[in-house]
A and B are shown apart, each in its own frame.
Chain A
Amino acid sequence: MNIWVKRAYAALVFAFLYLPLVVIAVYSFNASKYSLAWKGFTLQWYGRLLDNATLVDAAFRSMTIAVVSATVSCVIGTLAAFMLHQYRFRGRRAVFASIFVMMMSPDIVIGISLLVLFLGVGLSLGFWTLLMGHVTLCVPFVTATVYTRFKGFDPTVVEAARDLGAVEYQVFRRIVLPMAAPGLVAGWLLSFTMSLDDVIVSFFTTGPTYEVLPLRIYSMVRLGIKPDVNALSVVMITVTVAAVLLSRRLLKEKS
């Protein structure tokens, strides 16, 4: 009895998480353009997607900004986590607190305040401002994931390395980084996803030269979402799942 309850519960959770994706995938092959009725199998939306240059461009821009901002966030976030874990310095608690404040801040507040800052400094909105916006959004999450990973370390390993003459950089490069790798990968993937589907911060921080996919899709509501978007979603889900699987394999091989 008990085991079945547990299984049913788990099945429910997974159904709740994955059914929407399945529905999107199914509809991306549906010949009907607007109605929810099934009108036969077609690949035409995938063909249409290839013709829809503006949508594909926006998707590429989204992917680019997601990769770059995840990578930059990882560098900054990991360094911050290492500092917070390894050293005791004045203002450490304040830094800690500010990271959590950033995590709790609503996107709209971050978006508007960044916009006001960029305009105040006189930056023109585009790729770089968007990148700064996304990095701001992601760094606290990377820091938190990597920091918890550091917490689980055996500190004596680092001390042993120092006793054996390792300088600070070598400790970081040879000991800390490899041990933190799973946390890093998790942080990178989290950032990647956050950047990829962020609407609000992107809306405020990007300019006319660099429009990303979520904004493009979001502004389709006026005229109805076209089935091209279903096809694009399936392509992007596939790419994301492949990236996750690949990263897991790489991690396995390392350890």
Chain B
Amino acid sequence: MKKLLLAIVLTLAFAVPALAGSGELYLYIWSEYIPDEVVENFTKETGIKVHLSTYDSNEAMYAKIKLAGDGYDLIVPSSDYVGLMRRQDMLLPLDKSKLTNFPNLSDKFTDQPFDPDNTFSVPYMWGSTAIAVNTGTLGEAAVTSYADLWKPEMNGRLLLPNDPREVFAIALKSLGYSLNDTDPAHLEQAYQKLKALMPYVRVFDSDSPKQALLSGEVSVGVIWNGEAYIANQENPEIQYVYPKEGFSMWMDSLCIPKGAKNLDEAHAFLNYLLRPDVAAAISTEMGYSTPNAKAAEFLEPEVAGNPIVYPDAATAAHGEFQDDIGEAMKLYEDYWVKLKGSND
């Protein structure tokens, strides 16, 4: 961390020129998702005062923006909500001429289906949802694919996310479909497959699934990599497996909502976050992966070399981002209620 701070201090020499109007910036973001130092340094460099407010879910953020409308200059929705808010005309297009650091992003993360050409969004952090296995209780080779979750020895030892999209992604991927599939026949197949899996589930948890793994209540869980990273630090026997069939990836992007007033400040902040040293500082502090390709040289080797945080290119190519699926969500929800009901 010290090294990084030093790097940040050194790069202050090449700081972005301060803006004429020392303005304000209202950032609406997940809690604890941006280090205080990063924000403070931005204020030091530009004189722009950043006001943070936080939300706990995409739904909450969406509700607030939809209802209250103005007052926020930057929001950080997940990929499917970028798609949704883009289609509902709730976002402002970005002025790319002000984002000189945009090319620092790896093209693996730009130009995604949920926002072609990144007209509205700048990738901030990304990660994956895959399988955490306690190799101490299940053995090294117990799980290599989603199909292995249906093995009888998983009975009563399985944790799934409390989220219909993530759970359907497991079945859809193991059937060879896209996790954004909306074909009712495919969803029916996925539902039938999941019905067979339900008796094995001991816990549904999206908030802090690492706890159940660490306490030994479950031995295998479909969780996201940030949680797996912490669990693995606490107990090295808990390993993270990228399933063969492919897996779901999540990405949070920065967007400017309609009704934002401080557009220059917002663009200045976006461009600042796109700097390799800043992106690396955020990634190291938070334990999530940065989509910034040039940040690698600033990362601590133990983070950059950890496959839980940075899977190799071949593995990452199997990942797929969630997009908004519109009307099909109702089908998902109906099946979800049936599945959860059958589990009581």
Same complex origin of A and B: yes
Main secondary structure on B side of the interface with A: mixed
In Å, the complex CA distance between A215 and B64 comes to: 13
Chain A residues 12 to 65 lying within 8 A of chain B, measured CB to CB, are: 34-36, 51-54
Q: How far is the CB of B240 from chain A (nearest CB, A)?
A: 16
- Report if B344 contacts A (CB, 8 A): no
Other A-B contacts than A203-B60, A216-B31, A223-B33, 18 sampled, CB-CB below 8 A, are A35-B214, A36-B211, A36-B215, A52-B36, A53-B36, A54-B36, A112-B67, A207-B71, A208-B71, A215-B53, A218-B31, A219-B56, A220-B31, A220-B32, A222-B33, A222-B207, A223-B286, A225-B208
- Report if A221 contacts B (CB, 8 A): yes
Binding site for B on A (CB under 8 A): 34-36, 51-54, 112, 115-116, 119, 124-125, 203-204, 206-209, 211, 215-226
In Å, the complex CA distance between A223 and B31 comes to: 8
Given known A53-B36, A223-B286, contact A218–B56 (CB-CB < 8 A):
yes
Given known A36-B211, A221-B207, contact A125–B68 (CB-CB < 8 A):
yes
In Å, the complex CA distance between A17 and B56 comes to: 27
In Å, the complex CA distance between A244 and B54 comes to: 31
In the assembled complex, which residues on chain B have CB atoms less than 8 Å from the CB atom of A223? 30-33, 226, 286
- Report if B210 contacts A (CB, 8 A): yes
Contact A219 B71 (CB under 8 A): no
Q: In the complex, which residue of chain A has the Cβ closest to the Cβ of B286?
A: A223
Given known A35-B234, A223-B30, A223-B226, contact A208–B53 (CB-CB < 8 A):
yes
In Å, the complex CA distance between A223 and B230 comes to: 11
- Report if B52 contacts A (CB, 8 A): yes
In Å, the complex CA distance between A223 and B57 comes to: 11
- Report if B26 contacts A (CB, 8 A): yes
In Å, the complex CA distance between A219 and B68 comes to: 19
In Å, the complex CA distance between A217 and B31 comes to: 8
User: How many residues belonging to B are interface residues under a CB distance threshold of 8 Å?
Assistant: 32
- Report if B28 contacts A (CB, 8 A): yes
In Å, the complex CA distance between A207 and B53 comes to: 8
In the assembled complex, which residues on chain A have CB atoms less than 8 Å from the CB atom of B211? 36
- Report if B72 contacts A (CB, 8 A): yes
In Å, the complex CA distance between A14 and B210 comes to: 31
In Å, the complex CA distance between A222 and B54 comes to: 11
In the assembled complex, which residues on chain A have CB atoms less than 8 Å from the CB atom of B32? 220, 223, 226
Given known A34-B230, A54-B36, A216-B31, contact A221–B71 (CB-CB < 8 A):
no
Q: How far is the CB of A47 from chain B (nearest CB, A)?
A: 14
- Report if B244 contacts A (CB, 8 A): no
In Å, the complex CA distance between A189 and B252 comes to: 41
In Å, the complex CA distance between A119 and B64 comes to: 12
In the assembled complex, which residues on chain B have CB atoms less than 8 Å from the CB atom of A115? 67-68
In Å, the complex CA distance between A221 and B60 comes to: 13
In the assembled complex, which residues on chain A have CB atoms less than 8 Å from the CB atom of B72? 208
In Å, the complex CA distance between A115 and B234 comes to: 44
Q: How far is the CB of B267 from chain A (nearest CB, A)?
A: 18
- Report if B150 contacts A (CB, 8 A): no
In Å, the complex CA distance between A115 and B51 comes to: 21
